[in-house]
Amino acid sequence: MGKTGLNLPRRLPAANAILIKTMARDNRIDSLKGLLIILVILGHVITTIDNVNIVNHAVMGFIYIFHMPLFILISGYLTKPPQQQSSGSLFRSLGNLFVTLIIFHIINSITRYLVTGISVWTTMTHFPYGILWYLMCLIYWRLALYFTPRALLEKPILHLGIALIVSLLSGLTHLGHLLAIQRALNFYFFFLLGYYYKQGVINQRWWKSNALHCAFAIILLPLIYWLFPRCGNFMNGADHYTLIDIPQKCMILTCSTALSILLFNLMREHKFLCHFGKESLFYYVYHIIIITLARPLFQIHNLPHTFPFILLYTLLVICIVYAMSRVKLFKWLMRPIRF
């Protein structure tokens, strides 16, 4: 009795330490998400204010090759396997996400009306509006993964191959922005890539081959922009193209995959970026509202559009959203109802 009593307290801290370590967030992933959300904001500042300037256009094109594919890859990486989720927990989490989507669809519709005068109803019918496509797609992807037959789920190469073919052919449809379906088809490959890497079933040697991924990026990036100046439209995921454009899409997907994996491997923990990564959804849904409201200032006052000023405007947007993140009301709006 005495021996057990002496040993038990010594074992509990060790057990707690293991539990805490297991539950701890991955700061490296949060740092990567932080970097990506900053690039998302930078890209949207450029597209809203000036994407004609040659430097702005080059930076925007580079960002768009990998920033959303890598964000989506991380989403797949953080998704639990279907066997570790109950249908109840899945639908509750997706219900919460859908509530956030609806709320910010309404807020964006009102914001657009205040800035452009376009009726709220017109914007409301374009569901999901603007950048909210990512939230809608996240619902699709998690549902698709959960209901994928186990026989296919256990064959990652076949599953990824099907997703890749679907991505290549998605632009042949005329779905466009309708319910973000075309974008879901276009980017599902990256979601699965992240999911299967986390499950440890993707060849580690290939994934960790930074020299290979770097070589693909160095060769393909200038080639893509030389041959296909409008390649950014293909990474949009909602644009229509023809069979003739499939080779271009193949090159872009290869380059996007290589850059995404390269950055995933190279990223290290940075405390400054961790905050943005942990709050990435907050920055994602609110930054576009600030940019939209600020747009008339550039039209009225003819503010400079050169890249150094674009960086300054991006910093200002980030600072405003950071200040908003300290206000409970804005936090509450993201999830006023919990399922």
Which residues 6+ apart lie within 8 Å of 232 measured at CB?
60, 61, 64
Token pair for 176: 């466009």
Distance CA 167, CA 172 (A): 10
**Residue 124 neighbours by CB under 8 Å, 6+ apart:** 105, 106, 109
Question: Among candidates 285, 250, 16, 7, which has minimal Cα distance to 133?
Answer: 285
| pLDDT for position 229 | 66
Cβ-count burial of 50 within 10 angstroms (0-12 exposed, 13-18 middle, 19+ buried)?
buried
Distance, in Å, from the CA atom of 225 to the CA atom of 222, rounded to the nearest integer, reads: 5
What does the block give as tokens for 293?
A: 């409201």
Cα–Cα distance between 189 and 196 in angstroms, integer? Answer: 11
* Alpha carbon distance 242, 83 (integer Å): 39
**pLDDT string in tens for the chain (339-residue length):** 443 343 434 433 444 443 344 446 799 999 999 999 999 999 999 998 887 888 998 898 889 899 999 999 999 999 999 999 999 999 999 999 999 999 999 999 999 999 999 999 999 999 999 999 999 999 999 999 999 999 999 999 999 999 999 999 999 998 988 999 999 999 999 999 999 999 999 999 999 999 999 999 999 988 888 777 666 566 788 888 889 989 888 999 999 999 999 999 999 999 999 999 999 999 999 999 999 999 998 878 788 989 999 999 999 999 999 999 999 999 999 988 887
pLDDT, residue 230, reads 61
Any idea where the domains of the chain sit in the sequence? 26-334
Q: What is the DSSP string of 183-202?
A: HHHHHHHHHHHHHHHHTT-S
pLDDT at 1 (0 to 100): 40
State the DSSP H helix or E strand holding residue 48, giving kind and residue range, or none if neither. Answer: helix 27-49
Q: What is the pTM of this model?
A: 0.90
Torsion of Cα atoms, 111 then 116 then 121 then 126, to 10°: -80
DSSP structure class, residue 79: S
Overall size of the chain counted in residues: 339
- Cβ atoms of residues 43 and 284 within 8 Å: no
195 close to 77: Cβ distance less than 8 angstroms = yes
